[in-house]
A and B are shown apart, each in its own frame.
Chain A
Amino acid sequence: MRPGMFLGTLLAGLAVLAAAISFLWTPYDVTQMAIADKLMPPGAGHWLGTDHFGRDILSMIMVGARVSIAVALVAVGIGMGLGVPLGLIAAARRGSWLEEAIMRGNDLIFAFPSLVIAILITAIFGPSAINAIIAIGIFNIPVFARVTRGGALPLWTLDYIRAAEVSGKGAALISVQHILPNIANLLMVQGTIQFSLGILAEAGLSYVGLGAQPPTPSWGRMLAEAQTMVTLAPHVAIIPGLCILLTVLGLNLLGDGLRDALDPRLKVMR
């Protein structure tokens, strides 16, 4: 394994592990306030210190990882679930009005950055983690549609696809049986990238109050709450930010590693 991919797997794995353990055990209760212990620096009792309410930062980071990962993962699921079929249809019906309609629809969604979608949803239904998922998920749809179509189009000219057509298989069956398995690598790599972008987007949304609501801890909101405290106790702001940075970095390295491992042709570029 290349060192970059090893580091990526390690960092991303650590975040997933922290989230998984938080279901069973956290050092402290994340809602438990202890004003007497507020803003304690990292030390023996609280490994990563405490925030302005005296809550244990390590526990909040662990539960926050859960929110980040869940939001980003479901958003990737939405993007793949809708985007991949759209891309497959566009490729199967290449040159038709249907392809044109799908691709122009994609361009339109692309013009609405996930933040703007989140703002629109929030303006109507109010802020919540679910709305953050929907906003990031909608943003993911055109990404997967484009990657799928781009990967599928050249396949349709290959002999084995032609053979399947001649043998009487319909476009839908060919798309699922022959096209999809051949672009699975591509989708996996893109999925990793969108996963890491989702973590960043979730952090941004919850930072401005459009994501998970209190008392559920989230990395973005921990940063927002730390902002006024940053001069008194810098660790309150530094730790959640580092967690976001390292998780996203890990996923990006993992994505790059996967791409190199799955598509040796791209390695030449490096």
Chain B
Amino acid sequence: MLRYSFRRILSLGLSLLIASAVIFSVVELVPGDPASFMLGTGAQPETIAALREQMGLDQPLPLRYASWLGALLQGDFGQSFTYKAPIAELLGDRLQVSLALAILALCLAVFIALPVGIYAAARRGRAGDAAVMGGTQLGIALPNFWFAMLLVLLFAVKLQWLPAGGFPGWSDPLAGLKALILPAVALALPQAAILARVLRSALIETQGQDYIRTARAKGLTTGQVLRRHALRNALIPVLTIMGMQFSFLLAGAIIIENVFYLPGLGRLIFQAINQRDLILVQSAVLVLVAAVITVTFIVDLAYALVDPRLRQR
């Protein structure tokens, strides 16, 4: 396990390093000079010169990358020139919304998918299973931002139960949570559909195994076998999918945050693009990608912890 973990950590570090290099060099692709690109055509030469100096554009690329990375490792993401604030602070504020939304959505997805997947597996081939499978097909095809609009129409406009958008902050946790319910449902439903299908087929796959036959032979009912023996083994593929979904929820929230005007990481990235704040885009994208890579790493590790066979490799 130690050797496996060490190899995975090494590969995590390498992935993060390469990802940061890719993101950093992408900005170099900007047509012309990055500083004048960011400030637009009407900028004064002195302003451009000042930004050039702040970005260190007079230095060669590898040197700039090294100093950027060095500062990042110390938690210094630089200064946003549109917000006139430290980028680390901006990102921290926005992550409070994005992370909470992603976690809430994932919990909801699991909460819906578990009983639905188990039910369908238990009713395999019968009407209940067919209904669930049809429903999940619809769920997977559902564009979440459209579903979000329909939710707003019903629960915010017609019934007026929940706010249609905006975020009041975490000072009042209940109000904050209320503002995240509709976005979380919109994000969760398509993911729940995927999760339920994965769980169902993983459960069905365990049915042919010897240990299931033994459990049946002992006299356990179908439900008992499913819950006590099949579910534990079926959770392994479900765990992998959940890890992928969490990263997807973090990134996919970009669109949902726009529907609900939530001040999350995604909206920050959009505002930064519109204001051509490349330094901010760079840092925000890096945080997002680093989160995805790290979650994948944690899932890999959890996977090995659950299934000892994987550590052998």
Find the A residue at minimum CB distance from B295.
Answer: A111
Residue from B146, B270, B273 having most chain A Cβ neighbours under 10 A: B146
Q: A119: which of B146, B149, B247, B281 is its contact (CB, 8 Å)?
A: B281
CB atoms of A269 and B201 under 8 A apart? yes
Tell whether, in the assembled complex, residue B137 and residue A249 are in contact, meaning their CB atoms are under 8 Å apart: yes
Cα A37 to Cα B55 with chains together (Å): 52
Q: Is the CB of B149 within 8 A of A230?
A: yes
Compute how far the CA of A223 lies from the CA of B143 in the bound complex, rounded to whole angstroms.
11
Q: Does A13 contact B (CB under 8 A)?
A: no
The 8 Å CB contact of B143, one of A125, A208, A244, is A244
Question: Is residue A156 contacting chain B, with contact meaning CB distance below 8 A?
Answer: no
CB within 8 Å of A: which of B17-48?
Answer: 18-19, 22-23, 26-27, 29-31
**Interface pair B141/A252, CB less than 8 Å apart:** yes
Q: Which residues on A sit within 8 Å (CB–CB) of B285?
A: 116, 119-120
Q: Quick check: A204 and B145 within 8 Å, CB to CB?
A: yes
Q: Which residues of A contact B27 (CB under 8 A)?
A: 124
**Does A122 interact with chain B (Cβ within 8 Å)?**
yes
A170 within 8 A of B: no
Interfacial chain B residues near A112, Cβ < 8 Å: 19, 289, 292
For B14, the chain A residues whose CB sits under 8 A away are 104
Query: Any chain A CB within 8 A of the CB of B104?
Result: no
A125, A204, A240, A269 pick with most chain B CB within 10 angstroms: A204
Chain B neighbourhood of A204, CB < 8 A: 143, 145, 255
Interface residue? B79 (CB, 8 A): no
Q: How far is the CA of A125 from the CA of B30 in the complex (A)?
A: 7
Give the Cβ gap from B154 to chain A, nearest Cβ, in Å.
10
Please encode chain A, from 86 to 128, with 1 for each CB lying within 8 Å of some chain B CB and 0 for all others.
0000000000000000001001101111011001101111000
Please state if B145 and A223 are interface contacts (CB–CB under 8 Å).
yes
A207-231 contacts to B, CB under 8 A, are 207-208, 223, 226-227, 230-231
Given contacts A104-B14, A119-B254, 16 further A-B contacts (CB under 8 A): A111-B15, A111-B293, A115-B255, A120-B23, A124-B26, A124-B29, A223-B143, A226-B149, A230-B152, A230-B157, A231-B157, A237-B146, A241-B149, A245-B138, A245-B141, A248-B141
Chain A residues at the B interface, C-beta cutoff of 8 Å? 104, 107-108, 110-113, 115-116, 119-120, 122-125, 196, 200, 203-204, 207-208, 223, 226-227, 230-231, 234, 237-238, 240-241, 244-246, 248-249, 252-253, 269-270
**Selected A-B contacts with CB under 8 Å, 24 pairs:** A108-B18, A108-B19, A110-B296, A111-B296, A112-B19, A115-B251, A115-B252, A119-B254, A119-B270, A119-B273, A123-B278, A124-B27, A124-B29, A203-B143, A204-B143, A204-B145, A227-B149, A230-B149, A230-B153, A231-B153, A237-B149, A245-B141, A249-B137, A269-B204
Chain B residues near A (Cβ < 8 Å): 11, 14-15, 18-19, 22-23, 26-27, 29-31, 125, 137-138, 140-143, 145-147, 149-150, 152-153, 157, 201, 204-205, 247-248, 251-252, 254-255, 258-259, 269-270, 272-273, 276, 278, 281, 285, 288-289, 292-293, 296
